[in-house]
Amino acid sequence: MPGRADVTTVALVEDHVLFAEAMDVTLTREGFDVRRIPVKERAMPGQLLTSVMRMNPGIALLDLDLGAGGDGTRLVAPLTRSGISVVVVTGSTDRARWGQCLREGARAVLSKSARLEEILSALRLVADGRHVHTGEERQSLITHFYTEREVVKTVRRRLELLTAREIEVLAHLMDGQPVREIADASFVSEATVRTQVKSILAKLEVTSQLAAVGAARKAGWVPPSRPPSRPSAE
């Protein structure tokens, strides 16, 4: 395994300072050679990737939500292709995201709420070249990723059916604006906006404004030309 002789080198990619310090101390006591990768302000995923690969560790202990460093999921595939074993420890509860990491080659995905001994046990198994997840657990998470990906594709296709005006209305809804404010900002009647909202719900095949906003966010949708919004009245 790259970076491993008598001691396994662990590159720690984590933007939460207290968690990183706790893992550093604990893993060092357990005999790992810990190298922390600082997630600096305005850091780019490519910069983090270069920093990790330059160390040539045996294991990369990776968070997914890296603040200024962006989405850690994007680092999994290139790290695993380089021969580095990736262990994800994340606060995200998105099982599809976990499945994506495993699909991209991560050896294990664990929750930050897991017991410390569980994380240490996973690292020991990976360092020894053994499996952390059962085949069934792994396949279940990967299947969840594929299922969610198809849902997102479907929502995006439905979003393409929206008219320019419906796009504007949905954008306002995503900003948390009620129908009355949308009507005032657009100089149209509330009845007109309600008709437009009804059309949006029909095209997205959902039954509420909240569901429409949730579907758009889940799909990572951003309006092509986002209209200016006014703050909601308190």
pLDDT at 132: 95
H/E segment holding residue 123: helix 116-127
- What's this model's pTM, rounded to 2 decimal places? 0.78
Q: What is the CATH number of domain 9-146?
A: 3.40.50.2300
Q: Summarize pLDDT for 193-212 with one digit per residue, the tens.
A: 999 999 999 999 999 999 99
Domain 161-218 = CATH 3.40.50.620: no
Q: Which two tokens stand for residue 106?
A: 């991560």
Distance CA 23, CA 192 (A): 56
**Nearest in space to 85 (alpha carbons), one of 104, 102, 63, 60:** 60
3-state secondary structure of 71: strand
Phi, psi of 185 (to 5 degrees): -70, -25
Q: Where are the domains of the chain?
A: 9-146, 161-218
pLDDT beyond 50 at 20: yes
Q: Do 9-146 and 161-218 show the same overall fold?
A: no
pLDDT beyond 60 at 233: no
pLDDT at 105: 96
149-176 in b/e form (b: 16+ CB < 10 A) is eeebeebeebbeebeeebbbbbbbbbbe
pLDDT at 214: 95
Distance CA 161, CA 207 (A): 17
Contact between 179 and 213 under an 8 Å Cβ cutoff? The reply is: no
Enumerate the β-bridge partners of residue 8. Answer: 4
Mean pLDDT of the chain: 89
CA distances from 212 to 62, 126, 162, 194 (A): 33, 42, 12, 14
pLDDT beyond 50 at 232: no
pLDDT at 17: 87
Q: Summarize pLDDT for 133-152 with one digit per residue, the tens.
A: 999 999 999 999 999 999 99
Give the CA dihedral 157, 66, 49, 126, nearest 10 degrees. -100
Contact between 76 and 112 under an 8 Å Cβ cutoff? The reply is: no
pLDDT at 57: 94
pLDDT beyond 90 at 71: no
